[in-house]
Amino acid sequence: MASEKTKRKHSICMVSDFFYPNMGGVEGHIFQLSQCLLERGHKVVVITHMYNQRNGVRFMTNGLKVYYIPVVPFYNQCILPTILTTLPIIRDILIREQITLVHGHSAFSALAEETLYHAKLLGIKIVYTDHSLFGFADLSSILTNKLLECGMSISDHVICVSNTCRENTFLRANIQDPRKISVIPNAVDSSIFTPDPDAAPKDRIVIVVVSRLVYRKGTDLLVGIIPEICKKYSEVDFLIAGNGPKMVLIEEAKERHKLHDRITLLGSIPNQNVRNCLVKGHIFLNTSLTEAFCIAILEAASCGLQVVSTKVGGIPEILPDSMITLCTPSIPDLIQKVEISIQRIKSGDRIKSLEMHNEIKNMYNWRDVAKRTERVYDMVADSKSENSLIEAILKFRRCGYIGFFVITFVFLANFFLLMIVEYFNPRDKIDLAPDVSNYGRRKSKTHNLD
């Protein structure tokens, strides 16, 4: 514990449009990372926009303080990007909580992007995590990439969840030095995702699918293989959890091929039930068409399931070949690989689920992620970068002529707004919030830090 005392303590502010009560990869990542950073003695607050009635300050596990700022979501759970309007409240929070480091999450989050500009003006260091892959071809990606490029040019360090994601972000955001990007994978909470060999039926083989039923997650592929597999193997059932616009396709297939007793559609299930759903099966099937990391695969493997997945994005990086079966995104290949897995289960020639669980536990855990993220924080905090308006504007130069002009204009307008806010609500008039995080933990020294 002696070395823990001398370690640097950061005041970190996580910002993203996506947070609890929403559920998904980014949301889980922010929550778990925050918890582990709190555990390591840092101060963490989270800023997100309001969710229906959930507005104001809330406290979550271990005193994680969450600001639900009163801005309504506009499109796809994101706020309307205006940059200027969020300045007063974000500035207030950043000063009140004595934040030394802002950590934005997800390239799609408008709130995170806006907070970057505010933090830059307030002289706070910036780290950004990109969770997703994005193409280059269509109009929306050109626009998003330009915005990302502007945001990335002022952030001190970027974190990506896989090597593929890093290459993508490197090209997308036109970052000059790839060493500015670190790869820190996601992890899985192995204490929740434990195997339970008795939960799965002994005489049947159940294939589990847990994903949103949308085009990007490959529901069209899923619909293609279900009837074929059901026809060939009378002992195979499907268990599908998740909801989405493509659910109709599966229901149609169910009707057409009279598979009512073979396919169970659970609809969308709450996060805490995912594990109980996973352990009911033998094989986990992922048919995504694009994926930066795919936590769902880790969760399934941690529960000891055989994993069959399409070979896209960052998926080939996350598990050794002995634990995952990869295939091309085509119906014949998927069927073939699923058949191999079925044969393997029948013959009993498979890794024991407990063995798999322990292996995953060694490979991925959130504490390790937090430790590596902390290293990034230390590096950023140590870097002596000159922090002035001119320097920030000079950094925008590589966003192209139009991008430079627009973003500089917005940035300067933001600066003048900051002056106005500073005049009406001076910095020294803002109450400083006491640090209540880790309150329970500090009291009870017996808490096991693992």
Partner 1 sequence: MGKIDVKPSVNRQNSWTKKLYIKQSYDDNYVDEKTFLELKRINVNARLYTYWEAVLYSGLIVQQLSTVIIFVLIYVYLRSDLIKIENLVLFFVVPLVGIGYLSKVIVLKHKCSQIQSDLGNIIKFVLFTYGISPIVNSLTESISSDTIHALTTFMLIFNILFYDYDSSEATIASKTFSFNAALFACVCLASRFEKSSFHTFILLILAFVLFALFPEYRRYSEEHYPHSIPIFTITCFFICLIMMINLKLWLYIFYLCLVCFIISFVCPLILIKLQSKKKTIHGPWDEALIQT
Applying CB under 8 A, the residues found at the interface with partner 1 are 133-139, 157, 162-165, 167-168, 170-171, 178-185, 216, 218, 220-221, 289-290, 292, 310, 312-314, 317-320, 322-323, 328-331, 344, 349-351, 355-356, 359, 362-364, 372, 375-376
E strand intervals along 242-302: 263-267, 283-286
Minimum distance of partner 1 from residue 349's CB (angstroms): 6
Minimum distance of partner 1 from residue 132's CB (angstroms): 9
48: three-class secondary structure by DSSP: strand
Minimum distance of partner 1 from residue 314's CB (angstroms): 8
Residue 410's nearest CA partner among 427, 392, 425 is: 392
Q: With respect to partner 1, which residue has the nearer C-beta, 191 or 362?
A: 362
Q: With respect to partner 1, which residue has the nearer C-beta, 265 or 340?
A: 340
Minimum distance of partner 1 from residue 33's CB (angstroms): 14
Report the 3 state secondary structure along 136-159.
CCCHHHHHHHHHHHHHHHHCCEEE
Minimum distance of partner 1 from residue 308's CB (angstroms): 14
Q: With respect to partner 1, which residue has the nearer C-beta, 95 or 148?
A: 148
Residue 232's nearest CA partner among 343, 307, 325 is: 343
Q: With respect to partner 1, which residue has the nearer C-beta, 49 or 146?
A: 146
Q: How far apart are CA 26 and CA 113, in angstroms?
A: 15
Minimum distance of partner 1 from residue 145's CB (angstroms): 11
Q: With respect to partner 1, which residue has the nearer C-beta, 39 or 167?
A: 167
Q: How far apart are CA 104 and CA 109, in angstroms?
A: 9
Minimum distance of partner 1 from residue 179's CB (angstroms): 5
The sheet that has 43-49: what strands, in order across it? 56-60, 64-69, 43-49, 11-15, 101-105, 125-130, 157-160, 181-183
Task: Answer for the pair 26, 130: CB distance below 8 angstroms, yes or no.
Answer: no
Q: With respect to partner 1, which residue has the nearer C-beta, 16 or 373?
A: 373
Residues 6+ apart with CB under 8 A from 375: none
Task: Report which residue type is found at 443.
Answer: K
Minimum distance of partner 1 from residue 60's CB (angstroms): 27
CA 216 to chain CA centroid, Å, is 16
Q: With respect to partner 1, which residue has the nearer C-beta, 199 or 323?
A: 323
Cα separation values, 177 from 61, 99, 156, 169, 414, Å: 38, 27, 12, 12, 28
Q: Exposure string (b/e) for 81-112, b if CB count within 10 Å is 16 or more?
A: eebeebbbbbbbbbbebebbbbbbbbbbbbbb
Report which secondary-structure segment, H or E, holds 190.
none
Task: Report which residue type is found at 114.
Answer: E
Q: With respect to partner 1, which residue has the nearer C-beta, 134 or 411?
A: 134
Task: Report which residue type is found at 177.
Answer: D
Q: With respect to partner 1, which residue has the nearer C-beta, 227 or 329?
A: 329
Task: Answer for the pair 310, 221: CB distance below 8 angstroms, yes or no.
Answer: yes
Minimum distance of partner 1 from residue 319's CB (angstroms): 6
Q: With respect to partner 1, which residue has the nearer C-beta, 330 or 385?
A: 330
Minimum distance of partner 1 from residue 147's CB (angstroms): 18
